[in-house]
Amino acid sequence: MSALEKKRRAAAAALRRLEENTPIGVGTGSTVNCFIDALAAHPVRVRAVASSEATSARLAAAGIAVIDLNEVSELTLYVDGADQATRRRHLIKGGGGALTREKIVAEAAREFVCILDDTKVVDTLGSFPLPIEVIPMARNLVARRLARFGGRAVWRQGCVTDNGNHILDVHGLAIADPPTLESALNQIPGVVTVGLFAERPADVLLVGTDQGVVEI
């Protein structure tokens, strides 16, 4: 079975967690696009806060009401993908560059459901380069500070985030203690968002496999 088919399976499983007419958050990426397509065909109506301009456009095109996060106090559910995940539900996110708004929307959600295919579940995070959104003027400074953590930061050239910032992809980190590293990297001036989602991990992983969907 292809990775896309596994993503579709995971996305379809997330539909069961929807509650009628409640505000939800919707993440960014190809797995989330499967979720949006399935949501458009689903009878339960929801309003959605988007984690990126791309998702906002896709939701609107699918006829799903897009709302501003400032209009609601809590989201019942946040559905998003990930680049890597552990069984403790710590994540690396930001491969699509939307990590800052994704982290904001995840924080606002009662339940964060992460949908992914089984190739992304790992014992230790870090073989996927860790995305970090930075203020453009601080890019090289942050890259030098990241070297102290053993990481080699590569500027994702040509990528400007929805917030007008740059992305560094950090190679060579073996992330043994995700919450502690997330907290430490957040202290570097110029860092906007670290693509580790560990201090606020996912609540549930829905993992698409050849055999079906595994819930962690």
Q: Is 55 in the site for ligand 5RP (CB under 6 A)?
A: no
In a 3-state reduction of DSSP, which class is residue 185?
helix
Q: How many residues bind ligand 5RP (CB under 6 A)?
A: 17
| 81 touches ligand 5RP (CB under 6 A) | yes
Return the range that interacts with ligand 5RP (CB under 6 A); candidates 15-23, 59-67, 77-85, 184-192: 77-85
Q: Which residue has the tokens 């904001």?
A: 104
Cα–chain-centroid distance for residue 122? 16
Q: How far is the CB of 175 from ligand 5RP (least distance, A)?
A: 16
- Residue 216 CA to residue 199 CA, distance in Å, equals 18
Whether residue 20 lies in the annotated active site: no
Catalytic position from the list 19, 102, 111, 182 = 102
Instruction: Check binding of 97 to ligand 5RP (CB under 6 A).
Output: yes
201 in contact with ligand 5RP (CB under 6 A): no
The beta strand positions in 30-173, using DSSP E, are 47-50, 65-66, 77-80, 84-85, 91-92, 112-117, 130-134, 152-155, 166-171
Restricted to residues 102-121, the positions that interact with ligand 5RP (CB under 6 A) are: 102
**How far apart are CB 21 and ligand 5RP at their closest, in Å?**
26
6 sits near ligand 5RP (criterion: CB under 6 A): no
Say if residues 192 and 138 touch (Cβ distance below 8 Å): no
